[in-house]
Amino acid sequence: MLSIASTILRHRAVRCWNGQRAMATVISGNKTSQLVRERLKKDVAEMRSHFPGFRPGLVVLQVGNRDDSNLYISMKLKAAAEIGINANHIRLPNTASEEEVVRSIVAVNENPAVHGLIVQLPLDSVNPIDTEKVTNAVAPEKDVDGLTSINAGKLSRGDLGDCFIPCTPNGCMELIAQTGVSVAGKNAVVIGRSKIVGAPMYDLLLWSHATVTTCHSKTRDLAAQVGRADILVVGAGKAEMVRGEWVQEGAVVIDCGINYIPDSSRPSGQRVVGDVHYPSAKERAGFITPVPGGVGPMTVAMLMENTVQSAKRFLKTYHPGKWTITYTELRPVHPKPSDAAISQACAAKPIMKLAREVGLFSEEVEPYGRHRAKVQLDVLTRMRAQPDGKYVVVTGITPTPLGEGNTTTTLGLVQALGAQLNINSIACVRQPTAGPTFSIKGGAVGGGYSQIVPMEEASLFLTSDSQAVSTATSLVVDAIGSRMHWESQQTHKTLFDLLVPLRDGQREFSPPQLKRMEKLGIDKLDPLTLTDKEIRQFVKLDIDPFKVSVDKLNFSIGNEIMAILALSTSVQDLQERLAKMVVTSDRSGEPVTTEDLEVTGVLTVLLRDALKPCLMQTVEGAPVFIHTSPSVDIAHGNSSILADKMALKLVGPAGFVVTEAGCGADVGLEKFFNIKCRYSGLQPDVVLMVATVRALKLHGGDQQNINLLEFGCGHLRGQIEHARAYGLPVVVAINTFSSDSEADLKMVCAQATLAGAFDVVRCTPWTEGGAGAVALGKAVQRAAEIPHPFKYLYPLEMPIEDKIRTVAQRMYGAKDIQLSAQALDKITLYTKQGLANLPVCIAKTHLFLSHELERAGVPKDFTLPIVDIQANVGAGFLCPVVDTTMAPSHRPVWPCYHDNDLYSVMQ
């Protein structure tokens, strides 16, 4: 700092050669500040050369619209632009409350792209605002004004290297340095004790080893105190209060005052002066700062200095694209405890901490207790310019009663990528549904050391999304019943008066009613102009009572609403999909939609919060989105598009999102690609297929003969072929157990390789967590780097029958399909209604490839019977229904609810 302007100013003798006293040297703040800016400009350029795309960020927060504040802000923004700092101005209205101001500050605090935050004072609001509270809301590491209590405290105790120094005092010290006068050992006097200038100026001089005296309005004999000062800093806010004759000869005088006094010679009628009487003081001082052109420019320069310094500190721990996240170190216990015991022993971190670690802001997260949170969709808007990460979809072989561990492997892989390989990674899974046996096969939240915790919170009600779907379903069913009742009880004119009520002497159609008018072909906007026939057409939905079964409606409507929730990409998309839902038909066979019932708006309100993904964590502290639970047999069986999209933005271009497709590759993965990927626009990079030796033995024979592994591997080969049909590399994960023999494992690896798998990896996520899936993580990384020409199984323009046949032949191994008369009629109807270009979602059992239990394994040359085709118009797919022969239900005598109570959960 001492050499920055050594060519401009030199300390010189108080008297000149002829014995006459020389006037004080003027310390130019303009010239010194320009040198500071030039140096900072070089610093920023160097930063950007080492970190391409990086720029120091500065935000100026203003409340109100004061002219003087606007002037100061424009100076700061101009200086920032000159240096290369990315500066933004946030202006809140003068009606802003204290809470709104603090909320805005917190949002900036959490933005990693901002390294400096200035709250422009005074706060010009009509509401009472505690300036101290607002100032201290600024994060100390971004407090480039140096006004928070933490920075002030560090300065007062001499921690100058670990705090930000207020800009005006810092600028004063820079100007003193330009004189060449050493501060150490000098008598220094500071007039003024404000938190912005006087108090920090005292501290700076003291820790520079001067003997410092602070003076103020109540100081006795102020002139005498000033006369003893080798260094005088004045910030009292009183025009020309310090007279020249008070000043010690040769003293350094720093004038921080800005005051306006009348001056009739000026066009404005006033001029700016400092706190020191400049004409007389410059006759005695050795060095003096002018006003204007002295301390003022240095204040702005030091603000830029602090911002650049903050950015440098940030870069010391900055790793582009990497989260600053802490993972829990596992200490697996042998023999392994139960899943519940592991969950309860896990010290999960607060969900808000996890949210901050993955780049979410407080305002974007809605906590549901300590371990769960909803994430607002605004994140997608904020991060729209962020490139997506790598996209991995997890599938498996056809499920068996023994379980394959798809979810466990999904979570173990994410833990391996994150905790072991230091790669940003998020898992996306479906929300568990307990069902009548209370999750007899498990809670669907993983297991062992690769599970979501707390297990009981994830497995039960989570954030009430399922309840929202249930409520919405009941509303639609009730609306159908209510409409049928009132149409049978009221005349069409009375019903019209009820549906289009008279308000303030006028009747107006609601938006849904206008849509119905358009559907009916009635081109009238004024309700009063409708004829009697048109009124009857409008009010009479004429729902066919034979098509109304409460149980069937609850089932079909509930499933479609959950599918809509999973496939929607925004609130607007959700509402549009809900409006298209066909919930029943009238007596002539025409579809009746939720929009006809005028319930679309309230359905959207009910489901609005359910559209937000839920954030939780694994045993090792890796992030997980749990969202939606569409069935895999009658719907597409995948977690939500929004969860995947949000996760892909959060992990960044070098990160991984591992999403799970329900059940086997023939069902869940097919629907993932041909339905979910079509509506999301996302294209995966890798398919991960999970298999176990014991499950393949079941596929090779039956539960009484589990030794036919080689035959079972035929099923694995078939599923690998199904996955490869989409052009992506397939990595096979063999979820390994202690009972697996080396010979069996080698056979499975060899068979998978012969089927064209990119790699085959043994893993143990259940017993070892992420450490048991490191090799799998590395294989997935390698697979994601190879070119992957993704392709769909069929084009949407293909006729409905051919789309069904394509899926049946290529995914199930069928020779052909057989359409019933009812299915053929539906194809004709849907083609006429313009629905022929929708993808198909075949409603078939996920428990075996064919439709018949006796054709388990890898059946060939069978005909798949299609008995009906349903149109889920809101979800956006046609649902061909397979005539499936199922095994009798094996509901257990001892389901899981016998082993759960409050005491066991609380342990």
- Alpha-carbon torsion, ordered 738, 740, 741, 746, to 10 deg: -120
Q: What count of other Cβ atoms lies within 10 Å of the Cβ of residue 900? A: 16
Residue 898 exposed, middle or buried by CB count within 10 Å (0-12, 13-18, 19+): exposed
Is the distance from CB of 672 to CB of 393 less than 8 angstroms?
yes
Token pair listed for 189: 């006097």
The residues that are catalytic are 76
Query: Checking DSSP bridges between strand 450-453 and strand 446-447, what pairing results, if any?
Result: antiparallel
C-alpha of 67 from chain center: 37
CA neighbor of 60 nearest in space, from 82, 87, 92: 87
* Rounded Cα gap, residues 532 and 525, in angstroms: 15
Tell me how far CA of residue 404 lies from CA of 83, 401, 748, 766, 772, in angstroms. 58, 9, 14, 11, 16
Please report which helix (H) or strand (E) contains residue 238, including its range. none
Contact 46, 312 (CB under 8 A): no
Whole-angstrom Cα distance, residue 395 to residue 399?
A: 10
Nearest Cα neighbor of 365 from 376, 351, 379 is 376
- Give the number of other Cβ atoms within 10 Å of residue 318's Cβ: 15
> Is residue 282 classed exposed, middle or buried when 0-12, 13-18 and 19+ CB atoms within 10 A define those classes?
buried
Q: Which class for 685: exposed (0-12), middle (13-18), buried (19 or more C-beta within 10 A)?
A: buried
| HEC letters along 835-874 | CCCCCECCECCCCCCCCEHHHCCCCCCCEEEEEEEEEECC
Contact 397, 716 (CB under 8 A): yes
C-alpha 45 chain-centroid distance: 31
CA distances for 398 relative to 81, 717, 855, angstroms = 60, 12, 13
Going by the DSSP 8-state scheme, the letter that residue 248 receives in this structure is P
Q: Return the structure tokens found at 720.
A: 């690998």
| Local structure of residue 527 (DSSP, 8 states) | G
